[in-house]
């Protein structure tokens, strides 16, 4: 077989971001600088990395960004009050509460408190429903949207394809299945998960396999139909004393053994991750456009 096409999420995201930059400039010229507020409660190290990346990308695109870092003992009421302030703030078009918050926080209640028109993560019930109902005025969660965009830009057809999504979370698996089965993508979609019987056999049916499990390298070579397209959503931190940071990132897919069997595959890092941030920027610009000045 030919070597697989490496789906370069960094390069494709850079293209999306170029479009975002132009749109942000046009909006700014019209008096509306798109603004994103990112709220981080506590000091989860992975969350800090993500928040820094989002803030940096905003700066690169000319978006206003506001980082709100709160101590781990912030109360539900305090966090709700901050969400309400951001809802009312005309300079802010997108609000993101970095997940996971500390365990004493009722995350679902916080999400419900976000103005759905500013819910650029697409987790508010109104946006969840709009995704199912195929109403394009809603916000699509960034990671599923990024996966679809990656397929689209790479010219990988989804219509009539057998797509298998491993994972049924509210953040990736379920919305991704809804996107793939929509009239926009027209895939035949299977949702598999921890309770599925014979996961390898289910995955071997996939023309497009999307792993969103959160377990390092569980997808092995023998799970792959030769010539399949593999999208790896997993970002798992593995201790690595050889690295300055003390860790390295690996996906849900055993890349080295899987890649030779694929037609195309995303690396980790540099695959879905950059696409997720690009979709967040796109959603923030959509929010600014819809909300106006």
Out of 55, 188, 218, 221, the only residue in the binding site for a copy of itself (CB under 8 A) is 188
In sequence order, the β-bridge partners of residue 244 are: none
Smallest gap from residue 108 Cβ to a copy of itself (A): 7
Q: CA 91, CA 82: separation in Å to the nearest integer? A: 14
Quick check: 193 binds a copy of itself (CB under 8 A)?
yes
Q: CA 94, CA 139: separation in Å to the nearest integer? A: 11
Instruction: List, by residue number, the catalytic residues.
Output: 54, 98, 121
Closest CA to 187 of 147, 139, 137: 147
Q: Which is nearer to a copy of itself, 22 or 159 (CB)?
A: 159
Out of 31, 197, 239, 256, the only residue in the binding site for a copy of itself (CB under 8 A) is 197
Q: CA 205, CA 195: separation in Å to the nearest integer? A: 18
Distance of alpha carbon 286 from its chain centroid, rounded?
Answer: 16
Quick check: 160 binds a copy of itself (CB under 8 A)?
yes
Quick check: 177 binds a copy of itself (CB under 8 A)?
yes
Output the six-digit token pair for 74: 């912030």
Smallest gap from residue 107 Cβ to a copy of itself (A): 11
Quick check: 190 binds a copy of itself (CB under 8 A)?
yes
Out of 99, 162, 214, 260, the only residue in the binding site for a copy of itself (CB under 8 A) is 162
Of 79-108, binders to a copy of itself (CB under 8 A) are 108
- How many chain residues are in contact with a copy of itself, going by CB under 8 A? 30
Output the six-digit token pair for 281: 């920027």
> Tokens 């690996």 sit at which residue?
250
- Identify the H or E element spanning 176: helix 173-181
Contact 27, 284 (CB under 8 A): no
Q: Angle 272-291/9-29 helices, nearest 10 degrees?
A: 20
Smallest gap from residue 119 Cβ to a copy of itself (A): 12
Out of 68, 186, 270, 291, the only residue in the binding site for a copy of itself (CB under 8 A) is 186
- Which of 44-52, 126-134, 258-266, 282-290 is the region at the interface with a copy of itself (rule: CB under 8 A)? 126-134
Output the six-digit token pair for 287: 């929010």
In sequence order, the β-bridge partners of residue 164 are: 190, 209
Closest CA to 286 of 37, 10, 20: 20
Quick check: 77 binds a copy of itself (CB under 8 A)?
no
Q: Which is nearer to a copy of itself, 37 or 111 (CB)?
A: 111
Quick check: 236 binds a copy of itself (CB under 8 A)?
no
What x-and-dash track marks residues 130-149 binding a copy of itself by CB under 8 A?
A: x-xx----------------
Contact 114, 95 (CB under 8 A): yes
Residues that bind a copy of itself (CB under 8 A): 108, 125-126, 128-130, 132-133, 159-162, 168, 170, 174, 177-178, 181, 186, 188-193, 195-197, 202, 205
């Amino acid at each position: 077989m030919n070597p697989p096409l490496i789906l370069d999420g960094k390069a494709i995201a850079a293209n999306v971001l170029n479009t975002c930059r132009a749109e942000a400039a046009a909006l700014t010229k019209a008096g509306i600088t798109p603004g994103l507020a990112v709220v981080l409660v506590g000091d989860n190290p992975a969350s800090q990395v993500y928040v820094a990346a989002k803030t940096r990308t905003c700066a690169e695109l000319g978006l206003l960004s506001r980082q709100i870092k709160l101590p781990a003992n912030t109360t539900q009421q305090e966090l709700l009050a901050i969400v309400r302030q951001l809802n009312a703030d005309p300079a802010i078009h997108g609000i993101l509460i970095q997940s996971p918050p500390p365990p004493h926080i009722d995350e679902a209640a916080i999400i419900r408190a976000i103005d759905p028109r500013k819910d650029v993560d697409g987790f508010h019930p109104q946006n969840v429903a709009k995704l199912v109902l195929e109403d394009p005025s809603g916000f699509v969660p960034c990671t599923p949207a990024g996966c679809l965009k990656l397929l689209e830009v790479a010219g990988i057809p989804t219509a009539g394809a057998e797509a298998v999504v491993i994972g049924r979370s509210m953040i990736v698996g379920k919305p991704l299945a809804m996107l793939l089965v929509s009239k926009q993508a027209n895939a035949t979609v299977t949702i598999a998960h921890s309770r599925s019987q014979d996961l390898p056999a289910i995955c071997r049916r996939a023309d497009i396999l999307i792993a969103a499990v959160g377990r390092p390298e569980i997808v092995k070579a023998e799970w792959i139909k030769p010539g399949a397209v593999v999208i790896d959503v997993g970002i798992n931190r593995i201790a690595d004393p050889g690295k300055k940071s003390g860790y390295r990132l690996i996906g849900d897919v055993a890349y080295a053994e899987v890649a030779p069997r694929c037609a195309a595959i995303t690396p980790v890092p540099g695959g879905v991750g950059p696409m997720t941030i690009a979709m967040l920027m796109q959603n923030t610009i959509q929010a600014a456009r819809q909300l106006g000045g």
